[in-house]
Amino acid sequence: MVAQAQSSQQPSEFGTGSPAVRPLCDAVGAEVTGVDLTNLDQATFSLVQAAWRAHSALLFRNQQLDDAALIEFSRRFGELDMPPVNENGKTFVADHPEIYVVSNVLGADGVPIGSLGAGEAVWHTDMSYLPMPPDASMLYSLEVPPSGGDTWLCGMDRAAGELPDDLRRTVTGRSIKHDGTYNSGGYLRQGLTASDDPVTSVGTPHPILCRHAETGRETLYLGRRRNAYVIGLPLAESEALLDRLWAHATQAKFCIAHHWRVGDLLMWDNRSTMHRRDPFDAHTRRVMHRTQIKGSARPAPSGVSAA
């Protein structure tokens, strides 16, 4: 059974009480309570950083962040990356080009104000088709639907640690090409040509077993399943290996589902987690603002040899 992230903090407790960290499940994520992200002193930020390194994803409930405050908090973790090109070719927030809007809501022009619609967003790691993907992403909820639209996280350190021996031997030293043709909602990225050929589609190879640049932990780096390709293998072998890797990594014991409330900030480390989103009723509204922290290093092989 998959864990559901539940908050112990009620709205009236916004920013009050002592800062505390509570793991959300064994494999990934922790909730930090008793903090106001617009007013974090250095000691509290150090606690947040330690929790970040330990848990790979953090949840803060009951925050009140405008775009400037979201950007200011995000910048404490590093320089910001520009968002990916959206399927509609839109720049989202004129004054804050760093903000990526994830939304199904239509603007006055009849075009969605954000990306990914109301359908499922499949398991992925943000912008892994780039040579230097963003280290982290932060998603802040402004409007949430009454049901659906939960965001799931998968702990890839734990998934790497529990790889069956034969699977570990097979993937050691190998790389996956991370496809850049489609986003996680299945939309073709602006300016690209549709392709369903994993061998020839555009993308960047990254090692399957990586060493996290900051924590030093070994992690599985899978990206996005569609059009993924294990370099050097015949396509049928690559497909079978990828299916096995995804089935292993997305087992319930490595995953947690986050059910959103307005004012939640969920941040995840793209180097050691994957995430996906449940679909929701397209007649309801969901508006999220996202920032992403620039990559500090290319994903590097773990250097762990096969047993």
Nearest distance from residue 114's CB to ligand SIN, in Å?
9
**Number of residues located near ligand SIN, criterion CB under 6 A:** 12
The answer for 223, left when phi > 0, alpha when psi is -120 to 50, beta otherwise, is left
269 touches 179 (CB < 8 A) = no
- Residues with Cβ within 8 Å of residue 216, at least 6 apart in sequence: none
Q: Which is nearer to ligand SIN, 63 or 170 (CB)?
A: 63
Buried/exposed code over 32-50 (b: 16+ C-beta within 10 A; e: otherwise): bbbbbbeebeeebbebbee
| Of residues 290, 283, 136, the one with CA closest to residue 213 | 136
Q: Which is nearer to ligand SIN, 217 or 290 (CB)?
A: 290
Q: Which is nearer to ligand SIN, 168 or 189 (CB)?
A: 189
The reply to whether 171 sits near ligand SIN by the rule CB under 6 A is: no
Nearest distance from residue 130's CB to ligand SIN, in Å?
15
Query: Applying CB under 6 A, which of residues 7, 62, 104, 151 lies at the interface with ligand SIN?
Result: 151
Q: Which is nearer to ligand SIN, 178 or 290 (CB)?
A: 290
The reply to whether 224 sits near ligand SIN by the rule CB under 6 A is: no
Q: Which is nearer to ligand SIN, 137 or 227 (CB)?
A: 137
Nearest distance from residue 22's CB to ligand SIN, in Å?
21
The reply to whether 121 sits near ligand SIN by the rule CB under 6 A is: yes
- Residues with Cβ within 8 Å of residue 243, at least 6 apart in sequence: none
Backbone angles phi, psi at 206, to 5 degrees: -135, 150
The reply to whether 277 sits near ligand SIN by the rule CB under 6 A is: yes
Q: Which is nearer to ligand SIN, 148 or 299 (CB)?
A: 148
| Of residues 61, 30, 57, the one with CA closest to residue 261 | 61
Nearest distance from residue 240's CB to ligand SIN, in Å?
27
The reply to whether 102 sits near ligand SIN by the rule CB under 6 A is: yes
In the sheet that holds 115-116, the strands lie side by side as 20-23, 30-33, 57-60, 265-269, 136-143, 287-293, 100-103, 115-116
The reply to whether 290 sits near ligand SIN by the rule CB under 6 A is: yes
Query: Applying CB under 6 A, which of residues 288, 289, 293, 302 lies at the interface with ligand SIN?
Result: 288
Tell me the DSSP string of 34-89: S--TTS--HHHHHHHHHHHHHHSEEEE-S----HHHHHHHHHTTSPBPPPPPPTT-
Buried/exposed code over 51-60 (b: 16+ C-beta within 10 A; e: otherwise): bbeebbbbbb
Query: Applying CB under 6 A, which of residues 9, 63, 175, 184 lies at the interface with ligand SIN?
Result: 184
Q: Which is nearer to ligand SIN, 137 or 170 (CB)?
A: 137
Q: Which is nearer to ligand SIN, 85 or 167 (CB)?
A: 85
The reply to whether 291 sits near ligand SIN by the rule CB under 6 A is: no
**Interface ranges with ligand SIN (CB under 6 A):** 102, 116, 121, 126, 137, 139, 151, 184, 275, 277, 288, 290
